[in-house]
Chain A
């Protein structure tokens, strides 16, 4: 069981950003990665396939109660919230939070309560402020928050919401984030 978990939130521009992020992670990356990317509720499963092409790590859309394993990438399915438990992922069809399902806040908040100081939250490009509240919980529970540099983000709203609330431990260009993740996760 990994003591770390990486949780990632993004919306507009997320496909490109996630592709670059995952492409930078090696096959032996030592922590699990859970991603909430906003998309339309009837999106098909092609996002996992697209990301898989550039990723050395296996990328799957999460089923309910999927065991959490290091070195695997779990995507929130469209129209479900993705929640992190101590050992497995849970899904929920509760109402959208800030118009989003999956909600980044829900993902981050659940990860904070299950992994505490082991959480590495990553906020990438996005056109809403979803994730800022969740990032605050991650910080309160001793986790770390990494934000894509708003100046290079396709949409700066989501990264800025976190930076402006002074929740970011590091603000980095996208291409530098994989290395940062490895350094923290290998500690």
Chain B
């Protein structure tokens, strides 16, 4: 049985999200409850307020608080070559598909600060495909899109990223892709010659183009099943026939509206080809 405190908390979470939407138009109402609740409770701590109602009152009155709220409600955790085996399979099984196209358009949806975009750019460069690719990296948050454009990542992370890169089948000395200065690793500007970074909201915006390959990894895990279904429809309609959809390692197409219009390329790594 749900205790009263949890019940009340759920009501406050709902009211908070509703008020964000009514006042500012930001729609987090389709976010999965357990994780959005967590992030709202963390905001309550960060803002040093007594509870969700006071947080709500503050964000309604103070647009300056909105920036902080938006930043806390979305997840920006990412890494270069996260899940090396996944990138290995992209190299082995997706690259041959891309080779059959004279021009390749790629969308990294929910790219956060861009680590995955740079990873993919490096991989495509090594496979001699980068020149015929145009990549879109989009995220709901304008501030992380700016970070992605800058392409500067913490130098301290490079040890992990280098090991990921090698395990992902990297062919070069990873350090040739960045220059170190201060505490940052600045990635080579040519890696984004064929990249467009832009703000885009998967929940409310339409398709930005038609793509041969879409990465949307560990983005929809923050959505409810209903919202996932809507976003899946957007992704499906943004893919060319025989285009490839890449999901996170623990995301599935089960119970999504286009489940039967995809075929697994590598079911373990959650790579799917649009066949319907």
Contacts and interface: CB of A to CB of B under 8 A. Distances in A.
Contacts of A61: 250
B1 A118 contact: yes
Contact of A64 (B2, B33, B38, B248): B248
Interface stretch (A20-28, A46-54, A90-98, A148-156): A90-98
B230 interface: no
Nearest to A117: B1
A176 interface: no
Given A77-B250, A85-B34, A116 B3 contact: yes
Interface string B2-27: 11011001100000000000000000
A83 interface: yes
A65 B34 contact: no
Contacts of A91: 218, 221, 250
B3 A83 contact: no
A11 interface: no
B251 A63 contact: yes
B237 interface: no
Interface string A64-98: 11000000000001001001111010111111000
Interface residues of B, number: 31
A84 B77 CA distance: 21
Given A85-B33, A92-B221, A3 B250 contact: no
A83 B33 CA distance: 10
Nearest to A77: B250
Interface residues of A, number: 33
B77 A64 contact: no
A90 B218 CA distance: 11
Which applies to chain A's interface (DSSP): helix, strand, loop or mixed?
mixed
Nearest to B249: A77
B75 interface: yes
Contact of A83 (B34, B248, B249, B252): B34
A64 B250 contact: yes
Contacts of B56: none
A163 interface: no
Given A86-B33, A95-B77, A141 B248 contact: no
A115 B6 CA distance: 9
A115 to B, nearest CB: 7
A103 B9 CA distance: 22
B37 interface: yes
Interface in A125-170: 140-142
Nearest to A107: B34
Interface of A: 3, 42, 61-65, 77, 80, 83-86, 88, 90-95, 106, 109-110, 112-118, 140-142
18 contacts: A61-B250, A63-B251, A64-B221, A77-B250, A84-B34, A85-B34, A90-B32, A90-B35, A91-B221, A93-B75, A93-B78, A93-B218, A93-B248, A94-B38, A95-B77, A110-B38, A114-B33, A118-B1
